[in-house]
Amino acid sequence: MLDNQQGLVFIDQYASRVTCYSSQYGHANGVSYTANNLVGPPSRFPAYGDFPETYVPRTYGPWWKESSIIFKGKNEVDQTGEDFIDVQFKKPVYPYCVNVYETYNSGCVRRLWAGDGQGNWKLFHENSVKQSLKQSQIFSPEPHHLQFLTSLIRIEIDSSFADYYPEVDAILLVGTETYPAPEESLKLSVLGLYAKVVGLGLHRLVPGFNTLESIQRLCFTDKLSQGVSVCHLSKLPEEILRVILALLDLRSLCSLACASSLFNKICKDSVLFTAVNLKPYWYCVNLPTLKWLGARSQCLQYLDLSWCGSYGKFSSSDFSWFIKQHGKRLRILRLENCSFLNNEALYSISTSCPYLQELNLRGCRDLESTAFWHLGKLHMMERLILDSTQIELPTLLVSLQSMASLSHLSLGGCQNLSLLGSLDEISRWLNRHRPGIVSLDFWRSGHLSNHGMEALVGLERLRELDIGWCGLPPNGNWISQLASRCRSLEKLFLTAARVVKDADLIAIAQYCPNLKQLDVLGNSYITSEGCSRVLDKCRKLRLLDVSYCCQIEAVHVANWRRIHPYVSIKRIFVSEED
Amino acid sequence: MHSVYGRLLSRSIVNGLYNCSSSSSSSGRTAVANATNENVSTKSIPKLVSAVAGFPKSFKSGKVRKGQIGDDAWLVKNVDSADVLAVADGVGGWRDYGVDPSDFSLSLLRSIERITSISNPCNFRNPVDLLSAAFRELLHSKRPITGSSTACILILEHESNNLFTVNIGDSGFLVVRKGQVVHKSEEQQHYFNTPFQLALPPPGHHGSALSDSPQSASQSQFAVQDGDVILLATDGVFDNVPQPVLVAELSKLGGVKDQLCVQQTANSIALMARNLSFDGRYMSPFAQRARDYGIRAVGGKPDDITVLLATVAI
């Protein structure tokens, strides 16, 4: 505890519990690279490196967004991070300072929020610097008092520009039990403002600059703008206006609607609301938002409600009401990390959205496994994303039966599929009934035996395959066979497969000219020879991860980087420390 | 040679001291906190006064890491609700395949350390789950870990004063009370000199290598008393020092709560095992057992030696 001269008592505390997170690199039952590692004081800071004792999100960089299969939604001016993590502290405080201990590829904290646990959030800090540092750091925004009693902090992590996986070790919250008296906080903020002005040298910019006068001018600008109220925009024909307005993001559209009655009318046009992405506004989406959207949603085809509705901000019946009323034309529905989802909500989706082609339920960990039975009614489904959910094998197979045009199936980190033989069964089923599948993700979802691999190599249309962290059969040249039969592969993740050999890489080089991303992390048999072959032959390659491949030396990588400047080659190697 | 020897010895003593002081001080702290916070509970919290000593079989391999003695690994860890002691003996045969045998044993114990520091206390009552989780964690390591190891874990749970144990292979423990062995581990062997082991063979060796599941480990529960002496050691000790000799040494420590005394006894057991292991004419317990299997053998068994010694203070 620290005391300052104002008589305020500052309490500093580390996270005591992780309540919610979007994704994690580690296994749900493990202790490496998992969200739970954020609890307590830092374990590795100030060391810098790839440490299993920290929290690591599942993705980094632009690689996961470059997939050619996933439909890209409407562009929002998006300050949202790629991932979020909510941590609970023991004692509620008025936050003054939040420290985030980053131990690898630092600089990924995008925003810090304070929550009340009932779905209300206040922004504590927003970081606009997008730069990844090669050293550990304590990310600590300038201290200020937030008049919001909280014991819940959400960090948004944006790793899209990071060179490799970012890692966070711990989170410290400093705050006071009482909010400082108004005059004190005013004094603090005026002093802070003054320091900022002087620090930036602003007071010297304009000779004879009168601070008071300029502030007054700022406050009463309406006098200045009188008489110049000519708006050329409103003179344009409505059709052209619509084309222009269609380019606006949601926030601008709402602002414009307030400008005049004309704009208000045009901005209500449902044609402008065919694709709505509410994820960037997760902190304020509630029932009135849904009602507001409902009034404009006659043409709604794409809806992203990811991250919304947590901590009871709106309920599953609110959502079900919306979907029943306005889901008829929906083709794409994204509901990542939506904790309000339940059996009723999935039932509403399955009965009200007959044309649904993509459903994304990634990270809905609390959704009970029985709810997935409703998926079977979605006959038009093409892309089904169920990562980190509780779906079970029988439910999945029955549901898939009705999805005749399924092209993308993502099942990464599904705990209930890790039972022996589940992945084999899915592979065999796909081989028999959906041989045209284009993209498949089994990341960390269990084991594949020889039977499973045999079925998998028969899926010859595959363009993207992620079997990272799946136990692969130790014998048999399955990867070579995969390469020789699935020749249109663009993305192949064999992370920690342990069985990849040079012969497999040579086969990949020979048969997969379109390969763009290859991850062979943790395969100790591969040597520089196989990798060189891949780099030489796969001219479209952009990502190659050879981390923890003990036969690949730094010299090789340096050489490759020189010869193949367009390939991002990752080689991380942290040996057990002494 | 001599200087390395001396440094190793003093290093292990320093490690032992460090561990003990940290463990006793933190449990001391919890005891104080308990006393001030709630006077209702008058039950005192047990703690272990522990020491580590040992010798690697050969000083040639250059790497010396904390928690490692040759191919053996050890762990002394104090968490809020329990004391954890563990040893693991990396199987040396992997060296012929270019695998460092200490990698597996040390990684296994480091996983245990991490799991015990994060997981909730109820796990301690089921140490087989702890062992399984640690073994699974090795599979989830980005760096490929191969090799195999025996393992023996003792957990003194503070709330119940119970010692929860799990053992796979030929490391083991003894609990001595008033000169008598009151509790000990069962040795698990497939056949002579081939203990049960947890294994992650390199791909391609899966059929040929022995690999036992963590579920095949034997577990036990035992209520300890004040003054009990616990010895946890790898086979380098039990194969060379006859049990009566060990018991005699341990009996001297009954009720001793001075860390230095515990350390001295640990050192002398380790040194005794070391000397006997290189005695070519000595009829070691190992040689006697070999004769039971019809193998004519004499002399000690040179091996890595790890001794974890602790007295219970309640």
Residue A445: its chain B contacts at CB < 8 A? none
For A327, A334, A378, A380, B148, the CA distances from A357, given in Å and listed in that order, are: 12, 11, 8, 5, 49
Q: Which residues of B touch A27 (CB under 8 A)?
A: 136, 140
How many other CB atoms are found less than 10 A from the CB of residue B122? 10
Contact list in B for residue A52 (CB cut-off 8 A) is 114, 141-142
pLDDT for the residue numbered A2: 43
Cβ neighbours of B63 in A, within 8 Å: 578
Q: Are A531 and A505 in contact (CB under 8 A)?
A: yes
Query: In angstroms, what separates the C-alpha of A357 from chain B's closest C-alpha?
Result: 34
Compute the nearest-CA separation of B244 from chain A (Å). Answer: 37
Closest CB to A548: pick one of B65, B115, B143.
B143
| Facing residue for B144 by CB, picked from A50, A498, A574 | A498
CB nearest B136 (choices: A30, A474, A498): A30
Closest CA to A476 of B174, B206, B122: B206
| DSSP 8-state code for residue A455 | H
Interface contact flag, B115 A31, Cβ < 8 Å: yes
Query: Which stretches in chain A have pLDDT values below 50?
Result: 1-5, 215-216, 218-228, 576-578
CB contact (8 A) between residue A471 and residue B111 = no
pTM for the structure as a whole: 0.86
Strands B147-157, B82-90: parallel, antiparallel or unpaired by DSSP?
A: antiparallel
In A369-437, alpha helices (H): 393-401, 422-433
Residue A133 half-sphere exposure, CB side, CA atoms within 13 Å?
Answer: 14
Question: Is residue B247 a contact partner of residue B212, using CB atoms and an 8 Å limit?
Answer: no
Q: Which residue of A has its CA nearest to B63?
A: A578
Residue pair A356/A330 in contact by the 8 Å Cβ criterion:
yes
Condensed to tens digits (0 to 9), the pLDDT of residues B7-20 reads 444 444 434 433 43
Q: Give A494→chain B minimum CA distance, Å.
A: 12
Contact predicate B108/B88, CB 8 Å? yes
**Contact list, A29 vs chain B (CB under 8 Å):** 133, 136
The total number of residues shown for chain A amounts to 578
Q: What is the ipTM of this complex?
A: 0.83
Residue of A nearest to B98 (CA): A524
Contacts of A443 (CB under 8 A, 6+ apart): A387, A412, A413, A466, A467, A468, A469, A470, A493, A495
Q: Cα(A412)–Cα(A440) distance, rounded to whole angstroms?
A: 9
In terms of C-beta density within 10 A (0-12 exposed, 13-18 middle, 19 or more buried), how is residue B292 classed? exposed
CB contact under 8 A, B203 and A474: yes
Q: Up-side HSE of residue A103: CA atoms within 13 Å toward CB?
A: 23
Q: Which of B121, B120, B47, B122 is nearest to B85 (CA)?
A: B47
What do you get for the CA distance between the two ends of chain B, in Å? Answer: 42
In angstroms and rounded to an integer, the radius of gyration of the C-alpha atoms of chain A is 26
Distance (Å) from the alpha carbon of A545 to chain B's nearest alpha carbon: 12
CB contact under 8 A, A31 and B66: no
Q: What is the 3-state secondary structure (H, E, C) of chain B?
A: CHHHHHHHHHHHHHHHHHHHHHHHHHHHHHHHHHHHHCCCCCCCCCEEEEEEEEECCCCCCCCCCCCEECCEEEEEEEECCEEEEEEEEECHHHHHHCCCHHHHHHHHHHHHHHHHHHCCHHHHHCHHHHHHHHHHHHHCCCCCCCEEEEEEEEEEECCCCEEEEEEECCCEEEEEECCEEEEECCCCEEECCEECCEEECCCCCCCCCCCCCHHHCEEEEEECCCCCEEEEECHHHHCCCCHHHHHHHHHCCCCCCCHHHHHHHHHHHHHHHHHHHCCCCCECHHHHHHHHCCCCCCECCCCCEEEEEEEEEC
Contact residues on chain A for B136, CB-CB shorter than 8 A: 27, 29-30
Q: Do A31 and B144 touch (CB under 8 A)?
A: no
Q: C-alpha angle B134/B139/B140, rounded to 5°?
A: 90
C-alpha–C-alpha distance, residues B64 and B147, integer Å: 19
pLDDT at A220: 46
CB contact under 8 A, A27 and B140: yes
Number of other residues whose CB lies within 10 A of the CB of residue A433: 15
What is the rounded CA–CA span in Å between residue A179 and residue A182? Answer: 9
Q: Considering only CB atoms, which chain B residues are within 8 Å of A522?
A: 141-144
For A224-258, the pLDDT digits (tens) are 444 445 567 777 888 888 888 888 888 888 888 88
- Whether A52 sits inside 8 A of B142 (CB atoms) is yes
* Residue A464 tokens, joined: 């993207």
Backbone dihedral region for residue A413 (phi beyond 0: left; psi -120 to 50: alpha; all else: beta)? left
Q: Which residue of B has its CA nearest to A38?
A: B118
- Run means of pLDDT, 10 residues per run, chain B, 314 residues: 41 40 36 38 76 90 82 92 94 87 94 84 81 92 92 92 94 94 90 89 71 89 94 95 95 91 96 94 92 89 95 91
* pLDDT value of residue B267: 96
Residues of B in contact with A32 (CB under 8 A): 114, 137, 140-141
> Do A140 and A102 contact (CB within 8 A), yes or no?
no
Tokens representing residue A13 in the block: 């505390």
Helix ranges, A402-495 (H): 422-433, 450-457, 478-485
Residue A210: CB partners within 8 Å, gap ≥ 6?
none
Please choose, from the candidates A483, A432, A433, the residue with its C-alpha nearest in 3D space to the C-alpha of residue A462. A483
Does residue A19 sit in helix, strand or coil?
strand
Contacts A548 to B, Cβ<8 Å: 142-144
Please, what's the largest Cα pairwise distance for chain B?
A: 64
Residues A102 and A108: their CA atoms lie apart, in Å, by 9
pLDDT of residue A83: 94
Do A22 and A57 contact (CB within 8 A), yes or no?
A: yes
Q: Do B114 and A31 touch (CB under 8 A)?
A: yes
The shortest C-alpha distance from B224 to chain A (Å) reads 30
The β-bridge relationship of strands A2-3 and A9-14 is: antiparallel
Lookup result for tokens 């799990």: B166
Closest CA to A455 of A476, A439, A432: A432
Q: Is there a contact between A31 and B111 if contact means CB atoms under 8 Å apart?
A: yes
- Which residues on A lie below 8 Å from B141 (Cβ)? 32, 52, 522
> What residues of B are in contact with residue A576 (Cβ under 8 Å)?
65, 103, 106-107, 110, 143
List residues in chain B touching A: CB distance below 8 A. Answer: 63-66, 103, 106-107, 110-111, 114-115, 118-119, 133, 136-137, 139-144, 202-204, 206
CB contact under 8 A, B144 and A522: yes
The answer to whether the CB atoms of B203 and A37 lie below 8 A apart is no
Q: Where are the beta strands (DSSP E) in A504-551?
A: 517-519, 543-545
Give the nearest chain A residue to B65 (CA atoms): A578
Residue B32's pLDDT is 35
Q: For residue B258, how many other CB atoms are within 10 A of its CB?
A: 11
CB A411 within 8 A of CB A387: yes
Whole-number pLDDT of residue B174: 95
